[in-house]
């Protein structure tokens, strides 16, 4: 595999992991590492042998709302924890939302019909930067240490 492709994939994987982590941390009380894992889960299809063919290819079955719904329902059925289930849904949903904007898109209507995305370069430098900035903002908003610092600054400015 060429170096450019490796760098592209590393950036894409890191972005999906960070966005999933940030959403789980920002909007649930679940362990944010759940967001990291489930933000990457759809890309497990890279591990499938090419000989398996459709729909077990990249952007096949694991990149569909049907798969995401099965994972979310399965998580709730096994753990009966709404916070954990929400974290899983946010993380896997973020992956699908990001990839659905790319030129390849995802199959929103699988198994009924194939669809394509609008062609946004979601894994290009500008969108990657925007996704990372939004993730950092969510993490900063939810960071208890930052809230504590703001309170100290506010109380010292009143003195």
Q: What is the mean pLDDT of the chain?
A: 90
Q: Looking at residue 155, what is its pLDDT?
A: 75
- Is the pLDDT at 67 greater than 80? The verdict is yes
Q: Looking at residue 39, what is its pLDDT?
A: 98
What residues have CB less than 8 Å from 96, skipping those under 6 apart?
42, 63, 64, 65, 68, 106
Least trusted range by pLDDT, from 73-82, 124-133, 137-146: 137-146
pLDDT in tens, 69-106: 999 999 999 999 999 999 999 999 999 999 999 988 99
Q: Looking at residue 19, what is its pLDDT?
A: 98
What residues have CB less than 8 Å from 123, skipping those under 6 apart?
8, 11, 12, 15, 102
- Is the pLDDT at 146 greater than 60? The verdict is no
CA distances in angstroms from 154 to 36, 87, 140, 143, 150, listed in the order given: 34, 32, 17, 17, 6
């Amino acid at each position: 595999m060429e170096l450019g492709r490796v760098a592209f994939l590393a950036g894409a994987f890191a972005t999906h992991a960070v966005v999933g982590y940030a959403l789980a941390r920002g909007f649930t009380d679940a362990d944010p590492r759940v967001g990291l894992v489930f933000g990457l889960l759809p890309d497990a299809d890279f591990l499938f042998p090419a000989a398996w063919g459709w729909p077990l290819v990249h952007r096949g079955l694991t990149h569909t709302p049907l798969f995401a719904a099965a994972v979310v329902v399965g998580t709730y059925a096994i753990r009966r924890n709404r916070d954990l289930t929400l974290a899983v849904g946010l993380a896997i949903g973020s992956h699908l939302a990001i990839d659905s904007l790319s030129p390849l898109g995802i199959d929103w209507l699988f198994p009924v019909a194939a669809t394509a995305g609008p062609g946004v370069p979601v894994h290009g430098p500008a969108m990657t930067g925007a996704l990372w900035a939004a993730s950092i903002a969510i993490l900063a908003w939810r960071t208890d240490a930052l809230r504590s610092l703001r309170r100290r600054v506010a109380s010292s400015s009143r003195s």
